[in-house]
């Protein structure tokens, strides 16, 4: 049986982590899978791994906490020590991987699922290597360095056609390395979880009785919640009483809270934080709205479609246009255009027939990305690669 070493940063509750988990479970039926997890924290999905999947951590909690402390306490000495540890962590990671290989035997394929091993991939004692890329090229400041890192891998997995075209245009001489494999979604799991109210508090249930739009994203700059807040200010000024619930957490929480207060939207826009099960919130929402400046292939749009909701999204690079069929399966607006977003939301909120039409078409669309269908493509790709 062929051996695969699958490396990722975390096995937590995010969309990427769930995709990684599902892929590992699938691969473990055909291969011996060893999981290398970079960080020994926030790994809720580990306990659900099949018994035949071995796993180990690259960085322990002590190392992670020291890095975090140095990053937050910015003295000159701490900055120097942090920069040293930033270099040293890649040594820690590849040595830990190579030690496992030395002690347990040859591995046939290295899968760098989060791309964080690109800094040291050439040091790993495995002949065949592939890397997943989850974001648009616009997210990279140093394309020359990226090109050098790409050269370390046999294949680069790009998660939508738009992204693949981006890479081919920029690195045409490397086009044979680029493979498009979509992210997938477990529609059946989402439908089941949308009916599970075990984790809902009484306050949650009361909030879900309101009429609300929903957005699910990390609270960081690329997700552009400023645009979303501005659009809801316009809606409120027009007399619409629709609320906006935002599920997610991140470093910009305080800034977003200030924007909400400055816009006098404390009774309209609510930050709900992380939710173990966001699908009950999706099920009970009026529609799903996404305001990102850039993406890779936004799984959250697929989750919106799978929840039978009309989806409104910015037309950022890359993914939304492809997922929503250039507007056939959902409504797109130009990044940052809060006035047009407000008009789109106003029309949708006043027109249930329009929302129903999009939700029906969107639900049919999401079947193209269903887990079992896409995982068969993964299996065929790996079978050919490991010949």
Chain segment 299-326, per-residue pLDDT in tens = 899 999 999 999 999 999 888 999 999 9
What span, in angstroms and rounded, lies between the C-alpha atoms of 366 and 67? Answer: 40
144-171: average pLDDT: 94
Q: Where are the alpha helices (DSSP H) in the chain?
A: 15-27, 61-72, 76-104, 143-150, 161-170, 187-193, 202-207, 225-237, 253-262, 279-283, 299-306, 320-323, 338-350, 352-366, 371-385
At residue 7, the pLDDT reads 96
Residues 211 and 344 in one domain: yes
Chain segment 244-271, per-residue pLDDT in tens = 999 999 889 999 999 999 999 999 999 9
CB 112 within 8 A of CB 118: yes
What span, in angstroms and rounded, lies between the C-alpha atoms of 169 and 160? Answer: 15
Which residues, 6 or more positions from 318, have their beta carbon under 8 angstroms from its beta carbon? Answer: 136, 160, 162, 163, 166, 294, 295, 296, 297
Q: Is the pLDDT of residue 67 over 80?
A: no
User: Range of 295's domain?
Assistant: 187-369
Residues 52 and 151 in one domain: yes
134-160: average pLDDT: 91
Residues 195 and 318 in one domain: yes
Q: Please provide the average confidence, as pLDDT, over all residues in the chain.
A: 92
Residues 73 and 170 in one domain: yes
Residues 160 and 255 in one domain: no
At residue 83, the pLDDT reads 78
Residues 8 and 139 in one domain: yes
At residue 289, the pLDDT reads 98
Residues 84 and 193 in one domain: no
Residues 381 and 356 in one domain: no
Chain segment 91-138, per-residue pLDDT in tens = 989 999 999 999 999 999 999 999 999 999 999 999 999 999 988 887
What span, in angstroms and rounded, lies between the C-alpha atoms of 292 and 332? Answer: 11
57-81: average pLDDT: 79
CATH number at residue 110: 3.40.50.2000
367-382: average pLDDT: 92
- What are the beta bridge partners of residue 214? 245, 288
Q: How confident is the model at residue 294 (pLDDT cuts 50, 70, 90)?
A: confident
Cβ atoms within 10 Å, residue 17: 20
6-21: average pLDDT: 86
Three-state DSSP state, 260: helix
339-363: average pLDDT: 97
Cα atoms in the 13 Å half-sphere on the side-chain side of 387: 4
Residue 196 parent element (H or E) = none
Q: Is the pLDDT of residue 14 over 90?
A: no
Question: How buried is 343 (Cβ within 10 angstroms: 0-12 exposed, 13-18 middle, 19+ buried)?
Answer: middle
Residue located via tokens 């044979």: 176
36-48: average pLDDT: 88
At residue 329, the pLDDT reads 96
Q: Domain tally for the chain? A: 2
Q: Does residue 85 or residue 90 have the better pLDDT?
A: 90
Q: How confident is the model at residue 139 (pLDDT cuts 50, 70, 90)?
A: confident
Give me the percent of the chain exceeding a pLDDT of 70: 100
What span, in angstroms and rounded, lies between the C-alpha atoms of 235 and 241? Answer: 8
What span, in angstroms and rounded, lies between the C-alpha atoms of 108 and 110? Answer: 7
Residues 273 and 363 in one domain: yes
Residues 230 and 329 in one domain: yes
Residues 195 and 54 in one domain: no
Residues 49 and 11 in one domain: yes
Give Cα 287 distance to the centre of its chain. Answer: 20
Chain segment 180-212, per-residue pLDDT in tens = 999 999 999 999 999 999 889 999 999 999 999
At residue 133, the pLDDT reads 93
pTM of the model: 0.84
Chain segment 213-251, per-residue pLDDT in tens = 999 999 999 899 999 999 999 999 999 999 999 999 988
What span, in angstroms and rounded, lies between the C-alpha atoms of 352 and 310? Answer: 10
At residue 60, the pLDDT reads 79
Q: Is the pLDDT of residue 146 over 80?
A: yes
């Amino acid at each position: 049986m062929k051996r695969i070493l699958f490396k990722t940063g975390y096995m937590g509750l995010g969309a990427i982590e769930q995709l990684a988990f599902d892929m590992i479970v699938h691969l473990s039926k055909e291969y011996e899978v060893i999981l290398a997890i970079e960080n020994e924290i926030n790994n809720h999905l580990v306990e659900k791994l099949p018994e035949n999947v071995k796993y180990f951590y690259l960085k322990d909690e002590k190392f992670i906490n020291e890095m975090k402390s140095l990053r937050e306490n910015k003295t000159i000495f701490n900055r120097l020590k942090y920069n040293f540890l930033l270099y040293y962590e890649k040594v820690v990671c590849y040595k830990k991987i190579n030690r496992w290989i030395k002690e347990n035997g040859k591995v046939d394929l290295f899968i760098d699922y989060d791309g964080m091993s690109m800094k040291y991939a050439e040091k790993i004692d495995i002949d065949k290597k592939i890397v997943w890329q989850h974001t648009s090229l616009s997210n990279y400041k140093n394309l020359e360095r990226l090109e050098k890192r790409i050269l370390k891998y046999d294949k680069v997995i790009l998660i939508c056609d738009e992204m693949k075209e981006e890479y081919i245009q920029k690195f045409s001489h490397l086009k044979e390395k680029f493979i498009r494999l979509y992210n997938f979604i477990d529609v059946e799991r989402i439908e089941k979880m949308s009916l599970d109210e075990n984790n809902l508090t009484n306050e949650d249930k009361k909030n879900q009785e309101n009429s609300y739009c929903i957005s699910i994203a990390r609270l960081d700059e690329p997700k552009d919640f400023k645009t979303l807040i501005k659009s809801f200010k316009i809606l409120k000024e027009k007399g619409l009483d629709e609320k906006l619930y935002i599920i997610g957490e991140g470093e910009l929480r305080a800034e977003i809270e200030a924007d909400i207060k400055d816009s006098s939207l404390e009774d309209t826009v609510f930050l709900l934080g992380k939710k173990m099960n966001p699908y009950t919130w999706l099920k009970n929402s009026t529609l799903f709205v996404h305001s990102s400046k850039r993406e890779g292939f936004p799984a959250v749009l697929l989750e919106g479609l799978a929840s039978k909701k009309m989806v409104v999204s910015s037309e950022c690079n890359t993914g939304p246009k492809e997922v929503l069929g250039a507007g056939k399966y959902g409504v797109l607006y130009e990044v940052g255009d809060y006035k047009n977003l407000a008009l789109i939301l106003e029309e949708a909120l006043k027109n249930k027939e329009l929302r129903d039409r999009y939700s029906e078409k969107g639900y049919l669309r999401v079947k193209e990305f269903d887990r079992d269908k896409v995982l068969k493509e993964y299996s065929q790709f790996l079978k050919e690669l490991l010949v």
